[in-house]
Chains A and B, each alone.
Chain A
Amino acid sequence: MSRLKWQAVVAGVGGQGVLFVSRALASSVEPKAGSILISEVHGMAQRGGAVVSHLKAGPFSGPLVSFGQADLLLALDPGEAVRNLTYLAPKGHLVVNAPDLEFLSPKARKALASFGAQVLTVPATELAGRAGTPKGANVVLLGAAAAVGALPVKLKELERAICEGQPQARAQANQKLLNLGAEAAAQV
């Protein structure tokens, strides 16, 4: 059985749930990848600063993703998407919490288009806010990513990884947020 080899960068700002996302991705891909490596930032960097987490699933040794190697860049903040675009692999997926690509300068939009990455914009904060849980934008974005095939696991597997062992109310809320994201992705 060939093992999964997959790299992701999750970016955002302190308090948006970047670390939750990378850990959820890690536990959902673990059965397929066998080996999991994550790198996180703590301490000074978390006080309102940028937060980024690297995830390498499969036969890797080191915890950091190289520029141009991420199969997925999942950005909870558009500005942090810009800062981390350089990690994206040519055929990688960019999934970003934004209504559209207006946050990019025309030059950057052009560069992204010619790079060949697959782009998905989701107004996740707005969707999560409408559902009454504005802090759940990270889970909405995950649902959207799973639905468009930006993850090496299906929505169901992701859901299992996120909801397993959670209190029922929490699990149901997350389920709802995942579906919101999946629906939004289907409409694009």
Chain B
Amino acid sequence: MSSKAKVRKEILMGNQALGRGLVENGVAVMTAYPGTPSSEILPSVVHYGAEMKHPPYCEWSVNEKVAVEVALSSAYTGQRSAVAMKMVGLNVALDPVMSAAYIGVIGGMILISADDPGPHSSQTEQDSRLLAHFAKLPVFDPDSPAMARDLVGPAFALSERFQIPVMIRPTLRVCHGRQNLNLREPKELERAPVFQRDPFRWAAIPKMRLALHHALNAKLAKIQDYVSKSKSLNKWHAPLRPRAPLGILASGVSAALARDVLAELGLPVGEGKVPFLQTAAPYPLPVGPVSELIAGCRNVLVLEETEPVLELLAPRRDQLWGRASGHVPSAGELTPEVLGEVLERALGEAKLKAPRPRGKMLTVPDQPPMRRPNLCPGCSHRAVFYSLRRALPTGVYPSDIGCYTLGMNQGAVDTCHDMGAAVTFASALSRSLNQAGDETPVVATIGDSTFFHSGITGLVNAVYNGSRFVLVILDNETTSMTGMQPTPESGLTADGHPGQAVDIKKLVEGCGVRWLTELDPYQMGDLQKTLKKAWRWCKSPEGSVAVIIARHACAAQRPKDAVATPCKVEVKGQAAPVKTSFKPKDNPCADCGGCVAVCPVGALTRTGKGKIKVDGAKCTGCRLCAAVCPTGTMVLEPVGACVACGLCSTWFACPALAKDAKGYISIDRGWCVDCGLCAEVCAHGAIAPLEESK
């Protein structure tokens, strides 16, 4: 692609458009931690930055707090910087963000926090604009990829004029929307970085902070005036008209979709029936145009995602129709359907008739069941979760944020809260559950990138405070869920500048962990033995936190390494369902409790010493009890064919294990990657390697 071409029109994803905008406006430092829907912003800066004589410095930071600090202090030197994250990452970064407005910047700094109304890939529907307000930072709210790109220049300009970082808050539909736009040339600012020593500012003590706070408030008043007067940030899609019964105040994607929906209702904004003001700068509120709209209309419908910001900041709230009045739902994405209902109701209450009621649509009664996302076939995490349930079936399994949250499909994820919480939750749960001398194994799972991000502090805390639990670090050497960004372990950097690999094992040792082992989770037998051993050590007198680093290549990133020795498996026919039976006559029960613990459906109960009752109605005939019984008291001979017990589809839950209406399993060749792991799962030996593959 030649950089000499004058006008290049391309269809860009919103995140690419933001990256392009940053390069077109001379960004010199770019940092980020990956998180949907923000992950493609930084790679786009790397990509387009290559067109520059001096490409920007880009880094995947270890977490969002670090990313903000690196970008912020870079802007102290007069260079332009940017940082990108998803909105829950902003929570992690809030500490430096809160001070950033007080202390400010010299070079422009943009903080991109991508929200996820819906939520589609996140824990919360939080609105970053509220945090911008909380941190006293101006925020821009684009409605499309093109607007996102076009706001980068004004954001840098505002940031430098008032020496304050500016937030751009795109939502998922902007980030992962695509739009065709004209690319502009990258801009080279050629600013030499200078650090002006000024400890009263950069290292301000609390007394100085008060002065800075006063200065910030004065600054915000000026910014409010600036955004109020801006024609480009406040767009009247339909101007005020005399005695308008209803006006619309909107920002972000809701402003764009509402215009389309109004057109579908026969009230295109171009005809000017309903005054419509869109602001791209919700905070500080552009009080001039907003007051004008509210003063000129009997009622004003406020459309924004996902929390009321304009609505809370606007004057004369009794005239507003929004979340407080119940006109706009307080949770969920404002899709065209939701907006259609909201607009129809508002138009109706304003005694304005929509010329075209919402169109005819097809409603189909028999909807297919929802598709649950699942780990990829061949993913080693699946082997860990299966082994966990086999080895320590009565355990509690705190987990974390990443692909492996999908271990929930296998019943091996009990908690998922925020980045790093697997480790801290495991510490606390193990202490609570085992203080009465109970033996509830607690096994936490966390991915490698999440461990680097926020797991380490929890581990140091656990070691220091003497917690007893097993931590399995699922190390697939990449950040899979968000698109294979490198982790510190790889030593690869975002833009190819020299980095150094950080060894997880040494890191764990350095945290003071005394029981540590590394293994390949594809060796499921070893893994199960190791898990048991690790837990035994945890509860022993000298025990503490035991760490297992389960390392295997990511099946999506490096499929050939993940399945290094392919093994084609087949289901060896079908047989009638079977049940297990308890036969203590010849082989007395050892009363070990293994069968009761391992039963996936709770069909076995201990009714007395050496006595087990089998609930035939519950028993699926999976044969795990017979497989673990040390004395041969639980009896069920392997059938050598599928008995439709459902064990593999629940505990292993591979998308390649297709289940028919009667519960019999077959291998779906469209999904199967020949990892061969499921052959170890079936206790009846019904899934076996094909002869010819040997």
Identify the A interface with B (CB < 8 A).
13-14, 23, 26-27, 30, 35-50, 56, 60-69, 79-80, 82-83, 85-90, 104-105, 107-108, 111-112, 115, 117, 134
Contacts and interface: CB of A to CB of B under 8 A. Distances in A.
A61 B177 contact: no
Interface string B89-133: 000000000000000000000000000000011000000000000
B432 interface: no
Contacts of A36: 11, 178-180
Given A48-B374, A63-B173, A64-B335, A37 B178 contact: yes
Given A30-B11, A67-B337, A105-B365, A40 B264 contact: no
A108 B121 CA distance: 31
Given A42-B176, A63-B144, A108-B365, A23 B260 contact: no
In this complex, which of B13, B360, B406 has the most chain A Cβ atoms within 10 angstroms of its Cβ? B360
A86 B366 contact: no
Contact of B36 (A42, A49, A62, A111): A42
A107 B363 CA distance: 11
Contacts of A30: 11, 180
A66 B340 contact: yes
In this complex, which of A27, A41, A90 has the most chain B Cβ atoms within 10 angstroms of its Cβ? A41
Nearest to A94: B362
Given A40-B178, A45-B373, A64-B336, 5 more contacts: A44-B373, A56-B260, A62-B260, A88-B361, A88-B362
B373 A49 contact: yes
Contacts of A107: 365-366
A60 B253 CA distance: 12
Interface string B2-22: 000000000101000000000
A93 to B, nearest CB: 13
Contacts of B264: 66, 69
A47 B403 contact: yes
24 contacts: A26-B178, A27-B11, A35-B179, A36-B178, A40-B13, A40-B177, A41-B120, A43-B481, A48-B371, A48-B372, A49-B371, A50-B370, A61-B143, A61-B144, A62-B261, A62-B336, A64-B257, A66-B264, A67-B336, A82-B366, A82-B367, A87-B361, A89-B359, A111-B362
The 10 closest A-B pairs by CB, nearest first: A68-B361, A43-B36, A62-B257, A43-B121, A38-B178, A62-B256, A66-B336, A61-B256, A68-B359, A49-B373
Main secondary structure of the interface of A (DSSP, over half): mixed
A64 B336 CA distance: 7
A38 B482 CA distance: 20
A104 B365 CA distance: 10
Contacts of B173: 39, 62-64
Contacts of B359: 66-69, 89-90
Interface string B344-364: 000000000000001111111
B155 interface: no
A22 B516 CA distance: 48
Contacts of A45: 120-121, 373
B177 A83 contact: no
A35 B261 CA distance: 18
A124 to B, nearest CB: 14
Given A41-B120, A43-B36, A65 B365 contact: no
A31 to B, nearest CB: 10
A62 B259 CA distance: 8
B362 A35 contact: no
A33 to B, nearest CB: 9
A60 B260 contact: yes
Given A37-B179, A82-B367, A115-B362, A42 B37 contact: yes
Contacts of A89: 359
Interface in B459-495: 481-483
A45 B374 CA distance: 9
A38 B11 contact: yes
A76 to B, nearest CB: 13
A108 B361 CA distance: 13
B375 interface: yes
A37 B361 contact: no
B498 interface: no
Contacts of B37: 42-43
A71 to B, nearest CB: 12
B541 interface: no
A40 to B, nearest CB: 5
Contacts of B376: 47-48
B372 A37 contact: no
B490 to A, nearest CB: 21
A68 B360 contact: yes
In this complex, which of A14, A23, A68 has the most chain B Cβ atoms within 10 angstroms of its Cβ? A68
Given A79-B368, A107-B365, A47 B406 contact: yes
B594 interface: no
Given A37-B144, A43-B481, A61-B144, A85 B261 contact: no
A86 B362 CA distance: 5
In this complex, which of A38, A105, A107 has the most chain B Cβ atoms within 10 angstroms of its Cβ? A38
Nearest to A44: B121
A62 B337 contact: no
Interface in B653-675: 655, 670
Given A38-B179, A60-B260, A105-B365, A43 B144 contact: no
Contacts of B337: 66-67
A37 B260 CA distance: 12
B182 to A, nearest CB: 12
In this complex, which of B36, B177, B264 has the most chain A Cβ atoms within 10 angstroms of its Cβ? B177
B368 A108 contact: no
Interface in B13-50: 13, 36-37, 39
Contact of A48 (B336, B362, B482, B655): B655
A5 B37 CA distance: 28
A121 to B, nearest CB: 16
Nearest to B14: A63
Nearest to A35: B180
Contacts of B144: 37, 61-63
A41 B121 CA distance: 9
A39 B336 CA distance: 13
A168 B363 CA distance: 44
Nearest to A42: B176
A112 B363 CA distance: 9
Contacts of A79: 368, 371
Contacts of A111: 362-365
